[in-house]
Amino acid sequence: MRIVDLAPFEKASNFQLSSIKDVSILIKTLEREAHLIQLLLSIQKYGFQGPILIADDSKVPYGKSVIAKFPNLQIHYLELPYDTGTAEGRNEMLKLVETPYFLLCDDDFVFDKRTRVPLMLRLLNYYNLDILGGVFRQHNKKTRIGNYLLKLNNFLNQFNWSLPSYQIYEYHAGLKIEEKKISLFSVPYQDPITVCDLTHNFFLARTEKVKAFGGWNPLLKGGEHQNFFIRAKLAGLKVGTTRKCGVIHDQWTPNSELYKALRKRGNEYQMIALEEFGVKRLDNYKEVLGGTFGLP
């Protein structure tokens, strides 16, 4: 799939990855080979030469075919037992990271010139952060223009073109942790970075800081996102987010039926994710981020 360039005049120093030597890219994949290939193509396009760790717990892992397609990328492919889980898959990759930083990705991301990993690294160090998240670039189905552009994108897909979004999906909040209560609060956005406690699962992090608190709760096959950032907060990590950097969130490649079935279990793991902290819900979740986490 060819991606329409929405940032033709972007400075090369912000998006070219050939000079990035201290970052490993971590990708957890499950039953989405086409998504993974698309992500790797986008990473390769911008010249990344560093380590790429991929954890695959699909029923039939696709490591051999993926590696064969990317002989010039430094891929370390971990084929894990079926349905090992997102959290444990990430932990297995984290153990192998030898670079000072890692970039966490899901397999349905796509890099473009607006991903700006070099800029993320500069911002993380300048503001002395431990984790810096970016935004998702995706068409907002709740808006008229978002729906129109999504339909236009679907039309272009027939000709092997994809129209990425100029709209962004933000996800950040503060966490207030008390005895037997954890609540969220809104944090107004500030340029170029906003200090917060919770951000997207697209982030750049200091490897040793995350290793020090154990990374992800290995029991979780859902709910690991919120759990991870609560653990990071308790460990004293400084977290931020920025609108200046982000990934395209693939809204066009279909998911397999097996993947859809596995994704439906997410809510089952929310209570397990919260048990670690002795609470049954995240208060103010609906008001800050929408939806609920844990008991209503």
pLDDT at 268: 83
- Tell me if residue 168 falls in helix, strand or coil: strand
Looking at per-residue confidence, does 153 or 81 come out higher? 81
> Residue 9: inside a domain, yes or no?
no
R_g of the chain computed on alpha carbons = 18
The per-residue pLDDT for range 65-123, each reduced to its tens digit, is 999 999 999 999 999 999 999 999 999 999 999 999 999 999 999 999 999 999 999 99
Give domain status of residue 7, yes or no: no
What residues are paired with 53 via a beta bridge?
Answer: 26, 76
Q: What is the CATH number of the domain that holds 179?
A: 3.90.550.10
Domain-located, residue 6: no
User: Could you tell me if residue 8 is inside a domain?
Assistant: no
What token pair was written down for 24? 């490993």
pLDDT for residue 277? 97
Count of structural domains, the chain: 1
pLDDT for the residue numbered 1: 81
Mean pLDDT estimate for the chain: 96
Amino acid 67: pLDDT: 98
pLDDT tens by residue, 248-270:
999 889 898 899 888 877 778 99
- Number of Cβ atoms within 10 Å of the Cβ of 63: 17
Q: Which residues contact 23 (CB under 8 A, 6 or more apart)?
A: 50, 99, 101, 102, 103, 117, 121, 204
The answer to whether residue 30 sits within a structural domain is yes
Per-residue pLDDT tens over the stretch 271-280: 999 999 999 9
Domain span including residue 79: 20-288
Sequence-distant (6+) residues with CB within 8 A of 101 are: 22, 23, 24, 121, 124, 204, 205, 206, 207
- Return the C-alpha torsion angle 189, 191, 196, 202, nearest 10: 100
pLDDT of residue 14: 94
pLDDT digits 0-9 by tens, 216-245? 999 999 999 999 999 999 999 999 999 999
Token match 């097996």: residue? Answer: 258
Let me know if residue 151 belongs to a domain: yes
What is the arithmetic mean of pLDDT over 23-40?
A: 98
Is residue 12, in this structure, part of any structural domain at all? no
